[in-house]
Chains A and B, each alone.
Chain A
């Protein structure tokens, strides 16, 4: 019985997100059609003859009614065809695969930072509500998500790179080391460690530290704030009194009882954070010249490479949807009340 209802609810979640994703593609399709640029001209160039123009026009299926074009679009998406980039003349999907790991690297490290620093901060603030640890955490948190992230990145570069010299500057690697390591996973640090190139590893690390910390501050601010809010809510519940009546040490009451209930809700928050970091990296990557998908989309935008822009949008959008689905499923698995 439990298994059956479990499966139905999982199915429900998956269906719902599939529908959302389809909606997403509809929007990108519409945006694509709103382009002022003529897609045929973009391919054939403006010196092509009328016949060539007509040929390509038919090839692109532009004579068919809109919904057929949309279906064709979906078909292509499923096959992984995101069109060809005007800039690089490569399939957009290939380009994206090349750039994505850099963003993943940043977002993952930043999220981990947010989790391992933000959660204890939030718990600390909730336990000492109204006293100075609470105030400090709230201030840090507030500044963290009120500050424009690109500005924070710049200030970080100014202070920690230009003035203090503690970290390396923009870019993922010093130019000196470029191209030495075989990209196996695409994640530089893992690849460098795998091939034993330790000075490249440290170099990559020193480049990663600052942008990851900046993004991480943003994640930390949000996670700390939500953790605090959830913990305060739980600490006012009756079962906490029960735990104390049983004679449990306060540390166990906080982490063993209250936090257990918060953990479930934090799954959703962490999912949201990761997703919004994928987005926040757009700006951070610009400031740090980090060759990730954010840079890719931005550059494509300036080059009017619409295929690339839309392709990137769909991929990031799909990740968003995917992450939300994952955290939703995880939540259902972990919370006994829903099982």
Chain B
């Protein structure tokens, strides 16, 4: 028996022998389900591709994307420069590859800020109920009611321009839906028996929230995060386009479009190609999110 066969056997066993095995089995079965959806697989491929490109950047680029080569400026796409060069002679393909790191950076940073905040506020509100719930939900609603981009702009105006500030501004405008989701989950299980059992065991509220309530929210939160990620990237690109995000010479895709804007008519590739990159990544997250939702939460959507 090959190791692959035994691994598969372990994953498909009728009765799991350990918690770890049960968990792995759930993930594996979810994965099989997911694989059946070709659209979702394309999304996954795109995101995996993004991570791969970002990781391998130092090895697959010919330059660091920052040095000027004014002699080569505004060259059309060709054999030497696959995507052409921009107004300062930098190879656009290289800049896009380096820019993928920034995109991933934005994705990671926003997730790290938004998910804990959302989970914290949501689970506390749902679990505690009462006036705590009302106050926290009012707070959530206020942020939800705000126009995302404009609030982000106002925040950046105050905090100053720069990638981190832009990310912070975006994070502050996108945590609300996660709080709502976490609260909904917390409300559903608040009165269930295993929570009661945990309370009787003397586990503190914090303990219950962290170890029991939060894990149950994770699948909905993950789906929502993936779906929202496309919007987050678009907002970040928008801020970059307005000059409020990463500052030159950083190869952030939105900023690249902004700088290349004046060359739109005659050297269309300068602003157009970074936009295609944004489109592809955003598409990837949307497809992936749709696929994840079909697997994890089949009753919503179709």
Listed in ascending order, the chain A residues whose CB lies under 8 Å from chain B are 16, 19-21, 23-24, 26-28, 31, 34-36, 142-143, 145-152, 154-155, 157-158, 162, 228-229, 232-233, 275-276, 278-280, 282-283, 286-287, 297-298, 301-302, 304, 306, 309-310, 312-313, 316-317, 320-321, 324
CB pair A279 B302 closer than 8 Å:
no
Instruction: Tell me which of B89-97, B109-117, B153-161, B208-216 binds A.
Output: B153-161
- Kindly state the separation between the CA atoms of A275 and B143 in the bound complex, as whole angstroms: 15
* 22 A–B contacts from the bound complex (CB under 8 Å): A19-B138, A21-B145, A23-B141, A23-B142, A23-B145, A27-B146, A36-B160, A142-B287, A146-B283, A148-B234, A148-B257, A148-B282, A154-B257, A155-B272, A158-B268, A233-B302, A283-B241, A286-B241, A306-B157, A313-B147, A313-B151, A320-B147
- Kindly state the separation between the CA atoms of A183 and B283 in the bound complex, as whole angstroms: 42
Given A20-B141, A145-B286, A283-B241, residue A301 in contact with residue B153 (CB < 8 A): yes
Given A27-B146, A154-B261, residue A298 in contact with residue B158 (CB < 8 A): no
What total of chain B residues lie within 8 Å of the partner, measured CB to CB? Answer: 46
Find A31's partner among B138, B139, B155, B264 (CB 8 Å cutoff): B155
CB pair A24 B145 closer than 8 Å:
yes
Any A CB within 8 A of the CB of B279: yes
- Taking CB atoms, residues of chain B closer than 8 Å to A35 are 158
Find B257's partner among A150, A158, A278 (CB 8 Å cutoff): A150
In the complex formed, the residue of B with least CB distance to A280 is B149
- Kindly state the separation between the CA atoms of A293 and B202 in the bound complex, as whole angstroms: 56
- Taking CB atoms, residues of chain A closer than 8 Å to B138 are 19-20, 23
Any A CB within 8 A of the CB of B237: yes
Instruction: Output the residue of A27, A28, A298, A310 with the most chain B CB within 10 A.
Output: A27
- Taking CB atoms, residues of chain A closer than 8 Å to B230 are 145-146
Contact mask B173-201 → A, CB, 8 Å, 1/0? 00000000000000000000000000000
Given A151-B278, A286-B242, residue A36 in contact with residue B158 (CB < 8 A): yes
CB pair A146 B271 closer than 8 Å:
no
- Kindly state the separation between the CA atoms of A23 and B148 in the bound complex, as whole angstroms: 15
- Taking CB atoms, residues of chain A closer than 8 Å to B160 are 36
Listed in ascending order, the chain B residues whose CB lies under 8 Å from chain A are 138-139, 141-143, 145-151, 153-160, 230, 234, 237-238, 241-244, 254, 257, 261, 264-265, 268, 271-272, 274-275, 278-279, 282-283, 286-287, 301-302
- Taking CB atoms, residues of chain B closer than 8 Å to A228 are 302
Given A20-B138, A148-B278, A154-B271, residue A142 in contact with residue B238 (CB < 8 A): no
CB pair B244 A301 closer than 8 Å:
yes
Given A151-B257, A317-B146, residue A158 in contact with residue B155 (CB < 8 A): no
Q: Chain A's nearest CB lies how many Å from the CB of B191?
A: 26
- Taking CB atoms, residues of chain A closer than 8 Å to B156 are 301
- Kindly state the separation between the CA atoms of A26 and B146 in the bound complex, as whole angstroms: 12
Given A23-B139, A148-B234, A154-B264, residue A309 in contact with residue B154 (CB < 8 A): yes
Find B148's partner among A148, A154, A279 (CB 8 Å cutoff): A279
Find B149's partner among A145, A283, A302 (CB 8 Å cutoff): A283
Instruction: Output the residue of A148, A150, A280, A309 with the most chain B CB within 10 A.
Output: A148
CB pair A321 B241 closer than 8 Å:
no
- Taking CB atoms, residues of chain B closer than 8 Å to A316 are 147, 150
Find B145's partner among A28, A149, A151, A324 (CB 8 Å cutoff): A324
CB pair B149 A279 closer than 8 Å:
yes
Q: Chain A's nearest CB lies how many Å from the CB of B256?
A: 11
Instruction: Output the residue of A142, A150, A152 with the most chain B CB within 10 A.
Output: A150
Closest 6 CB pairs of A and B: A151-B275, A23-B142, A146-B282, A279-B147, A146-B283, A232-B302
CB pair B153 A298 closer than 8 Å:
yes
Given A154-B275, A316-B150, residue A283 in contact with residue B238 (CB < 8 A): yes
- Taking CB atoms, residues of chain A closer than 8 Å to B143 are 27
Given A146-B279, A151-B257, A151-B275, residue A34 in contact with residue B158 (CB < 8 A): yes
- Kindly state the separation between the CA atoms of A158 and B244 in the bound complex, as whole angstroms: 25
Q: Chain B's nearest CB lies how many Å from the CB of A200?
A: 26
- Kindly state the separation between the CA atoms of A324 and B141 in the bound complex, as whole angstroms: 12
- Taking CB atoms, residues of chain A closer than 8 Å to B149 are 279-280, 282-283
